[in-house]
Homo-oligomer: A and B are copies of this chain.
Amino acid sequence: MAALRLLSVWTLLLTVTVCDGWLFDGFAARRHSESDEVALWPLPQKFQTSVDAFRLSSASFQIVHAKESTAGPSCSLLQNAFHQLEVNQPTAVLKAASVWGALRGLETFSQLVYEDDYGGQNINKTSISDFPRFAHRGILLDSSRHYLPLKVILANLVTMAMNKFNVFHWHIVDDQSFPFQSRTFPDLSHKGAYHPYTHVYTPADVKMVIEFARMRGIRVLAEFDSPGHTFSWGKGQTGLLTPCFSGSSPSGTFGPVNPILNSTYDFMTRFFKEVSTVFPDAYIHLGGDEVDFSCWKSNPDIQKFMDQQGFGQDYRKLESYYIQRLLDIVSTTNKGYMVWQEVFDNGVKVRPSDTVVEVWMNNNVDKELQNVTGSGFTAILSAPWYLDYISYGQDWKKYYTVEPLNFEGTAEQKKLVIGGEACLWGEYVDATNLTPRLWPRASAVGERLWSDENVKDVGSAYDRLVKHRCRMVRRGIPAEPLYIGFCPHEYSGN
């Protein structure tokens, strides 16, 4: 995906072509045995280094586009990315098939630079060919259980790029609050957010997050979960949710989205039309998890509808009915969709070609992956990576040693697992503790999703991750310590 080549002309030459590797070579250098100071994370697919070291100079370091590059100085995304580098003198060539690959290569280049005892910046003669093992490398943040100020979202996009994550799964709304400000239905956030002005994401905010992510090679995958997890939607959209009954009269409480009313589908049509415009990604996450049937069961109108449709007492058929109508609506926006595994488990009829199934339940994961891919569905794995669950000690090792393709299945089935996500659900997390709780624990997932499957030695990963953690700290990110020790430059923020 990316190719970087060190030459002796003290310049980083950038070539964005179809070439898919990295190479450093052809330079005279002094000998320096600091190679163990270089701690690349995630580890590249192919990596050769030597003790020949070059000193970088901030005065003369430059990045230029090679003649053969199709992306020139007019490629603003790369011009901006150049600012990420703080390195200075020797010469390298970075070849990449796409600007995204070039971004990843620039991050790796920056990680090759190390400080010597005299404060000098050095880089060793190195040759790297690199590409990700999985295409989908995501982080889920939840801005409903707690509102997340933009600052913390942006800081985590920066950190995702350092760890070669490329999908920000934004679980933007849920039962507890609806911070997404819709132009079409402003009451959704006005009445459903924790506060209508201070705890919302305006269209400008959302646009900024998307652009900030794009500049770092990160897709923003928005999730609008339904028909469950929608309590907050009901505050601003009267009639959307199912009235629950206590005996023969309404109890005053509300359940999942009401699947029997045309008004529901009219609303969803208009709402997802807006959403599909606001979020440019080719996919949208439609949720579909944890639908509680008890309210539907209590409601006489729903029961009547079940009878009319011939669903009997199988509420999974009603869920299926709703999801299918919703997917038809979203299909008209030309987006693909991602759903939580229940949509598959409950037998909702969806087209494998359009649907990515996210496996999140941490029981029988292998069996579930076997079934999902056996039915021809593309899958994303998040079950072993629920980072909101915390425990004492080095739990990153647990995340690190997961092998996503360890299920029984054909080569074709394995190919259908396109990646995974580390999920930091928000029940106990807000801007006060999100970043140190997520990093470097999520870095373990980052390497699992990027590096070769044989890169699995916990001991050598520990040594690299300790240094990578200090690198994040050096860049201003409060990534928490793995264990006893120190960083040359400690975190000094709040």
With CB as the reference atom, state the residue of chain B lying closest to A426.
B484
CB distance from A464 to the nearest CB of B (A): 18
User: A177 vs B493: C-alpha distance in the bound complex, in angstroms?
Assistant: 22
Interface size on A, residues (CB 8 A): 45
Give the secondary structure class of A's interface. loop
Judge whether B391 and A430 touch: CB under 8 Å: no
Within A457-488, the residues touching B (CB, 8 Å) are: 473, 476, 478-481, 483-486, 488
Across the interface, name the chain B residue whose C-beta is closest to A193.
B486
User: CB distance B145 to A492 under 8 Å?
Assistant: no
Q: Contacts A146-B485, A484-B145 hold; do A431 and B490 have CB atoms under 8 A apart?
A: yes
Contact between chains at B149 and A492 (CB < 8 Å): yes
Query: In the docked arrangement, what's the CA distance between A431 and B428, Å?
Result: 20
A483 contacts across to B, CB distance below 8 A: 427-428
Q: Which of A393, A485, A486 has the largest count of B CB atoms less than 10 A from its CB? A: A486
Q: Could you tell me the distance in whole angstroms from the C-beta of A141 to the nearest C-beta in chain B? A: 15
A332 lies within 8 A of chain B by Cβ: no
**Given that A146-B485, A199-B486, A433-B437 are known contacts, is A428 also in contact with B480, CB under 8 Å in the complex?**
yes
- Beyond A390-B390, A494-B494, is A429–B481 a contact (Cβ under 8 Å)? yes
Across the interface, A431 reaches (CB within 8 A) one of B389, B391, B492, namely: B492
Candidate in A392, A435, A490 with the most chain B CB atoms within 10 angstroms: A490
Contacting B at CB under 8 A, from A426-456, are 426-433, 435-437
B194 with A486: CB separation less than 8 A = yes
With A176-B484, A428-B480, A483-B427 known as contacts, the answer to whether A392 contacts B392 (CB < 8 A) is no
The answer, yes or no, to whether A238 is at the interface (CB within 8 Å) is no
Q: Does A195 contact B (CB under 8 A)?
A: yes
Q: Which of B430, B478, B491 meets A490, CB within 8 Å?
A: B430
The CA-CA distance from A490 to B147 in the complex, in Å, is 8
- Please encode chain A, from 382 to 402, with 1 for each CB lying within 8 Å of some chain B CB and 0 for all others: 000000111111000000000
At the interface, yes or no: A28 with Cβ under 8 Å from chain B? Answer: no
A488 touches B433 (CB 8 A): no
**Which residue of chain B is the closest to A469 with respect to CB atoms?**
B432
Distance of A426 from chain B, by nearest CB (Å) = 8
Let me know if A83 is at the binding interface, CB within 8 A. Answer: no
Asked if A198 is at the interface of the complex by the 8 Å CB criterion, the answer is: yes
A67 interface residue (CB < 8 Å to B): no
Q: A145-B484, A431-B491 are in contact. List 9 more A-B contacts (CB 8 A).
A: A146-B484, A149-B490, A391-B392, A392-B428, A429-B480, A430-B486, A431-B478, A432-B478, A432-B491
